[in-house]
Amino acid sequence: MKVVLDIETVQAPREEWARLAGIDLVAMESCEGDSANDLFSHVDMQECMQKEDDLYERSSFDGTYSRIVCIGMLIFSPSMEPKAAVSWYGSNEQELLCQFWARLAEIHPTLFITHNGLGFDLPFIKKRSIVHRVKPSMEINLAKFRTEPVYDTMAVWSNWDMRGWIKLDILARALNVETKSGSGKQVAEMWAAGHRQEIAEYCLQDTYVTYACYNRMTFREPLTSQDILRSPQLIEIS
């Protein structure tokens, strides 16, 4: 079996991030107040606060600090015939991971198709599984410079050169395939607004675009999104 995989994540609250990073936010705020009347101290504090903001922003891509709220997966036969489209979503990350690994144990995939899966999705899943003590049902080799067991469309398209890394929607337009609406940054907004099912649907749209790009890159004609996502399984885990 072959699978196309994508995850959606949300950033930890700033207080939780600071706790994990060993940063005392209360002390930072106190120092900021003390430096208000001192121009040089104020400038230094502003620079320090900006660095902290930058660190917090970058933490959204790190499974140490952020968490998974959705895993979307398309399942195909070895000849790429569609078998299922499933999206697990919700606030119980531990159970979400348990069900994801259990499904992999059932289907025994030999190929994982992703976009930046080697750099983001798969390492993120591994970190969060370790955090929650959820033992993976299989070992996924994340070695670079190869296309099995992980075909990473971003890495292959750029010939493994970071300078050529490209966003999924740009690659989709370049390859003239159906693209998605919105961006990953909107996931946090949808999550905060309680639009959980919309996140699950959005994640599956990502998997379809990845699937279509993979087919173009391997000289196959992709099926339409209507064919692939006709009867998706949206599994809420709360």
Instruction: Dump pLDDT digits (tens) for 81-101.
Output: 999 999 999 999 999 999 999
Flag the least confident range among 36-40, 72-76, 190-194, 234-238: 36-40
Contacts of 32 (CB under 8 A, 6+ apart): 45, 49
The CATH architecture assigned to 2-10+69-236 reads: 2-Layer Sandwich (3.30)
User: 51 pLDDT exceeds 80?
Assistant: no
Which residue ranges make up each domain of the chain? 2-10+69-236, 14-60
120, 122, 127, 131: CA torsion to nearest 10: 130
* Overall pTM > 0.85: yes
User: 40 pLDDT exceeds 90?
Assistant: no
Express as a percent the part of the chain with pLDDT over 70.
87
Q: Which whole number is the average pLDDT over 104-129?
A: 97
- Cβ 11 vs Cβ 188: under 8 Å: yes
- pLDDT tens, 53-75? 777 777 778 899 899 999 999 99
Confidence band for 37, pLDDT divided at 50, 70 and 90: low
Contacts of 166 (CB under 8 A, 6+ apart): 154, 157, 158, 174
CA-nearest of 111, 119, 86, 112 to 203 is: 86
